Each structure stands twice: as C-alpha cells, then as structure tokens.
Amino acid sequence: MAGYLTVNGQAVPVETEEQSGLYADEPRGQRYRIKIGQRFHRAGYTAVVWRAISIYRDTQGLEHVNLVDEAGRLDEKTLSASVLLDRFHYRLI
C-alpha cells in the first residue's frame, strides 16, 4: 500500500520502495529507472550527495522525486524526474 505526501494541501500517493520506479527515455532508446535509495550528485559538483527517499506523480501527471542530503539529512528537496534524469543537471552515483 502506498503512503501519502501533502503537496499544496492535497494528499498525493507516494510509492513504497517495492512499487518505486520512474521510467524516462534516455538517448539511444535506453530506459532508465529511478528507484528509492539511489544516490545522485549535481553534474560538476560532487560534494553533496542526494538520496531518493520517495517518488510521486502530481495531479497533472508529472513525476517528482524527494531527495535528502546524505551528509546532514537535514536538507531535503523535490525535483522533477525529468531534471534528475537530465545528465546536464544530475548524475547517478
């Protein structure tokens, strides 16, 4: 059963680790899946490592990933899956 996250005052279903995974097409027809627990860093800036803690689809059908800073675990942010999958912005570790 999925949990829920409040986004702009609305409850949005959040996938569990077993259900997680967002797919996006990469160049050359490859498919890439974001999973909870995967680690990323900004392209060209490896000092901060971000870990995916939840994945959800908003009311418009856009996919988002909640990330937490692994070093301090105090900083959290939400990114569109398309930004996280763009190699010019973020890289999978």
Q: What is the pTM of this model?
A: 0.65
Structure tokens at 84: 């996280």
Q: Which of these, 56, 50, 48, lies nearest to 19 by C-alpha position?
A: 56
| pLDDT tens by residue, 13-50 | 555 444 444 444 444 444 457 889 999 999 988 889 99
Q: Which pLDDT score is estimated for 61?
A: 84
Q: Which pLDDT score is estimated for 46?
A: 84
**Residue tagged 């990933």 (tokens):** 65
Q: Which pLDDT score is estimated for 25?
A: 42
Q: Which pLDDT score is estimated for 10?
A: 56
